[in-house]
Chain A
Amino acid sequence: MKRRILRVCVAAALLATTVLTGCSSGDPESSGTDEGAQGEAIRIGAVLSLTGSYAGLGAPEKNAIDLEVARINDAGGVNGRPIEVLIEDDATDAAAAQAAVTKLVDQEGVVAILGATGTGQTMGMRADIERAQVPQVSMAGGSVITDEFSKWVFQTPWPNRLVVPFTAAYLEGLGVTKIALLSDSGGYGADGIAVTKAMLGDFGIEVVAEETYNAGDADMTAQLTKIRGAGAETIWMWGAGSEAATVLQNWNDLTGTELKRDDGIPDIIGAPGNARVELIDGAGEAANGFEFSAGRILLPESYGEDSEAFDVATDFITRYEAEYGSKPDIFAGHAYDALNIVVEALQRMPEGDIDPVALRDEIEATTGFVGIGGTFTFLPDDHNGLTENDLVMYRIVDGEWTLAEEAQ
């Protein structure tokens, strides 16, 4: 018995040592070179979901940040100083995101925080951001991020309060009066449904059915059967994960129409969270005819070929593709915007020590910044800075993204 206790103690001690050394050696991954720029690096923190359920979003965000840091430093950095982005993984966990902020601000002395990847993680950081008085530029799309206003927090994706009126106006233009709502019960779907129900009153559209599914559900035929019986003209889906592809497949199997009808109304309409190639890969034929709103990056020509935005986007897409072998998605674009908004603000500041409070004021003064997600103009009461003009409606045709307006 004694020997057993001894063994347990030894094991516990070993474990404790590994955990402790694990912590002390767990320095954040740093992305930065000092070629081309001299002087002490300006440190920026980034909290991304590199593991956990949002890992598919965090990975392209990290790629975009690495790519941009190298480009900025090669071009001389900011006022002659290189920048260094310290990336922390929050494992798609709000508590880990909060811990990462504390570490980045208190121990690493960063002047701004990029991220988090998800809405829940972004909100989990709020108290620490306000306590530390450091500006934060989030890459998450939840409306709550800028609706629950904080002077320290900015946001680069299109929030649902822009997506909803854009999509509702589009549906109204098609003559749709009755819709069904189908949503992921998680954060993205819940935010989307809440905003949709709050804003639909301004449009002549009635909700005749409302169903949900959970992350990881293997089949939504039951929900779709119920919706089908309710007499909706189209299904407005709020879900970003792989389940969206399952919904399209289930609907196709149920109705056999491949979402193609003569009246030009899509059977299912989605949201920017569906702007992923994985949706097309997963749903295959069943994705044809599916429509969703998102920014213009999926088809850069939609920026207008003579525009500055077109040049910015094609330059980014070309460099990203050369480095990583695949086209950037909207999440890479959100990270590009977040980093470059901060870098632009830094460039407008006088040389010398960077004061996070002054940096916040400078970020808020961002006017007409042409990024990937759109053209950003922040105001003291608008920390998203985008408009409905930065969105377009896409339709999937033969496994490719096309502009819905042109397809009609």
Chain B
Amino acid sequence: MGAPELLQFALAGLKNGSIYALVALGFTIVYASTGVINFAQGEFVMLGGMLSVWAYADLGLPLPLAGLVGVLATACVGIVFELLAIRPRKDGDPLALIIITVGGSMLLSSLARHAFGPTERALPRFSEGSIQILGASLERQSLWIMGIAAIAVGVLSLMYSRTRFGKAMRACAIDRNAARLVGIDPKWMVTVSFALAAALGGLAGLVTTPLTQTAFNVGPSFGVKGFAAAILGGLGNPFAAVVGGLVLGMLESLSVAFISSTYKDAISLVVLLLMLFVRPQGLLGRGKREKV
């Protein structure tokens, strides 16, 4: 295997990894404010793609505007989902909330099936063609995916570490009641986190649809990969989510290169399980210190 081929495998891993990272970031945002895994995150990715296609192909809007409509509409769905399904569960019992998100994901994909039909839909690429790097090739659309993942992680990290708002969100996850005592409204924080997670999921759907097409039933596969990436990196930290995504993408690509594509998902799953045994907090996560 020559150097250009190895580089090509690495680029394929990076490209897939950036997609996983974008989805994983959405898991991280909701987890950071509620301590809950939102299993409807994959559906936000599906909706971002579907609503953008709807705005582009059915409403005839220009692509940038259609993308904006798609992402904002997905954010609105996130808000409505939170207000109707998450907020009424006042005690914030994580198990109940997780089950609610599972139900919500089924509802969203069924609604999309009826609203947009059963077949897959396509979106044109933002930039055509590909670039050549030392004998390997990478489509320009992948640069969009990688760039958006990089910007998203940068913005989120800054938000959590520098802004009052980001710190308030984290405070809610650590202790709802204590956060309330210092004047933070946890209900409002959770709504915002769902809006952000949905918008980010929508963005992921928007940038990947030109490469993969989208359909009402793509949500779960995005969700599973993003969830695995978030766990691998360590939940609750945007930087860890991106690292998790990239590591997962690389693992899959190298499995194809050196072992077999038949086993690529099995290999990533085994690595994920090992990680859960050895370092349950993920690659970059900090262990939870329970104080007595």
* Cβ 8 A contact of A245, one of B213, B216, B222, B253: B213
Separation in Å of the A48 CB from the closest CB of chain B?
A: 11
Cβ of A229: which chain B residues have Cβ within 8 Å of it? 1, 5
* Cβ 8 A contact of A278, one of B16, B119, B264: B119
B137 close to A (CB within 8 Å)? yes
Cβ of A10: which chain B residues have Cβ within 8 Å of it? none
* Cβ 8 A contact of A215, one of B130, B221, B260: B221
Interface of chain B residues 113 through 137 with chain A (CB within 8 A): 113, 117-122, 124, 130, 137
Contacting pair A221 B15 (CB below 8 A): yes
Cβ of A241: which chain B residues have Cβ within 8 Å of it? 120
Interface of chain A residues 310 through 365 with chain B (CB within 8 A): none
Interface 0/1 of A178-192, CB less than 8 Å to B: 000000010000000
Cβ of B12: which chain A residues have Cβ within 8 Å of it? 219, 221-222, 225
- A249 vs B142: C-alpha distance in the bound complex, in angstroms? 12
Contacting pair A256 B213 (CB below 8 A): no
Separation in Å of the A87 CB from the closest CB of chain B?
A: 15
* Cβ 8 A contact of A219, one of B15, B215, B257, B262: B15
Interface 0/1 of A211-223, CB less than 8 Å to B: 1111111110111
- A164 vs B261: C-alpha distance in the bound complex, in angstroms? 23
B272 close to A (CB within 8 Å)? no
Residue of A nearest to B1 (CB): A229
Chain B interface secondary structure, helix, strand, loop or mixed? Answer: helix
Interface 0/1 of A151-190, CB less than 8 Å to B: 0000000000000000000000000000000000100000
Given A222-B256, A242-B212, A253-B139, CB of A278 within 8 Å of CB of B120 = yes
B185 close to A (CB within 8 Å)? no
- A219 vs B124: C-alpha distance in the bound complex, in angstroms? 17
Which of A30-38, A52-60, A293-301, A383-391 sits within the interface? A52-60
Contacting pair B118 A56 (CB below 8 A): yes
Contacting pair B262 A222 (CB below 8 A): no
Cβ of B97: which chain A residues have Cβ within 8 Å of it? none
Contacting pair A56 B119 (CB below 8 A): yes
Cβ of A119: which chain B residues have Cβ within 8 Å of it? none
Tell me the count of chain B residues lying within 8 A, CB to CB, of chain A.
Answer: 43
Interface 0/1 of A33-66, CB less than 8 Å to B: 0000000000000000011110110110000000
- A228 vs B211: C-alpha distance in the bound complex, in angstroms? 20
Cβ of B9: which chain A residues have Cβ within 8 Å of it? 222, 225
- A53 vs B215: C-alpha distance in the bound complex, in angstroms? 9
Separation in Å of the A324 CB from the closest CB of chain B?
A: 12
Cβ of B110: which chain A residues have Cβ within 8 Å of it? 51
Given A249-B211, A254-B8, CB of A216 within 8 Å of CB of B256 = no
- A36 vs B215: C-alpha distance in the bound complex, in angstroms? 40
Given A212-B262, A226-B256, CB of A221 within 8 Å of CB of B8 = yes
* Cβ 8 A contact of B137, one of A219, A223, A253, A284: A253
Contacting pair A216 B218 (CB below 8 A): yes
* Cβ 8 A contact of A281, one of B15, B122, B208, B217: B122
Interface 0/1 of A254-286, CB less than 8 Å to B: 101000000000000000000010100110100
Given A51-B113, A225-B8, CB of A246 within 8 Å of CB of B211 = yes
* Cβ 8 A contact of A218, one of B130, B139, B212, B217: B212
* Cβ 8 A contact of B213, one of A58, A213, A215, A282: A282
Contacting pair A185 B262 (CB below 8 A): yes
Cβ of B120: which chain A residues have Cβ within 8 Å of it? 56, 241-242, 245, 278, 282
- A344 vs B8: C-alpha distance in the bound complex, in angstroms? 56
Residue of A nearest to B219 (CB): A216
Query: In this complex, which of B9, B122, B220 has the most chain A Cβ atoms within 10 angstroms of its Cβ?
Result: B122
Ordered nearest first, which 3 A-B pairs have the shortest CB separation? A216-B221, A55-B118, A221-B12
Q: Which residues of B contact A (CB under 8 A)?
A: 1, 5, 8-9, 11-13, 15-16, 19, 110, 113, 117-122, 124, 130, 137-139, 208, 211-213, 215-218, 220-222, 252-253, 256-257, 260-262, 264-265
> A56-B118, A218-B19, A281-B213 given. 11 additional CB < 8 A pairs?
A59-B118, A211-B261, A213-B261, A216-B222, A218-B16, A219-B212, A221-B11, A226-B261, A229-B1, A245-B120, A249-B211
A and B contact pairs by CB, cutoff 8 A, 11 listed: A55-B113, A212-B262, A214-B221, A216-B222, A217-B221, A219-B12, A219-B211, A221-B8, A222-B8, A242-B212, A253-B137
